[in-house]
Amino acid sequence: MSGNVKKISICFSIVLLLVVTAVALGPYYAMHRLRQGLADQDPAILADVVDFPALKANVKVQLEGFLTGQSPSDFKQTPFAAFAMSLASRVVDGMVDAVVTPQGLAALLHGVNPGKLGQGRQAKPPETTDAGTDGLFRNAVYHYDSPSQFSVWIPGEKDGRFQFVFTRSGLFWKLSNVIFPMGGDK
């Protein structure tokens, strides 16, 4: 009997070690898949590693907060404030649509300011290598925020850093948020 218990204990330990390893290496694999999906312009790969609904919602809330936080408080009390806020919401929707695309994500991963992405035409990321996406995450700083959240910090064009947040669902990791270096001319 003790031989069977020992075998079960060893098998359980091996399975547990494999699960912990998969969870620990998951964000790095997700970054690899993101880079591959962007290089190949493959929407199926991108759908596997990007939580587009969560990413759009998070980016929209962030941009709306930036716009409304920048308006003077006495402006908010005028009769035109509701009209101006509806226009701002449309601008934010356009910016979100420009940012949360394969081209927009590639540009952000190269540190391109999101304001440049909504200027009428699709922004292309700067070419850092012949392969284009080989430079993604090159100067990045990686950090586990919690067992279910992993952040990648990428330097911006001027000052500040973009924070790319990957969240875990089960054993799989997906890009769910991009936090912009808002303020000044970052």
What is the pLDDT at residue 123? 42
What is the pLDDT at residue 114? 60
What is the pLDDT at residue 27? 94
Domain locations along the chain: 2-179
SS3 state at 159 = coil
| DSSP element (H, E) containing 67 | helix 52-70
Q: How far apart are CA 56 and CA 47, in angstroms?
A: 13
pLDDT, one tens digit per residue, over 73-89 is: 555 566 666 666 677 77
What is the pLDDT at residue 94? 81
Which segments in the chain show pLDDT lower than 70? 1, 68-85, 113-135, 157-159, 182-186
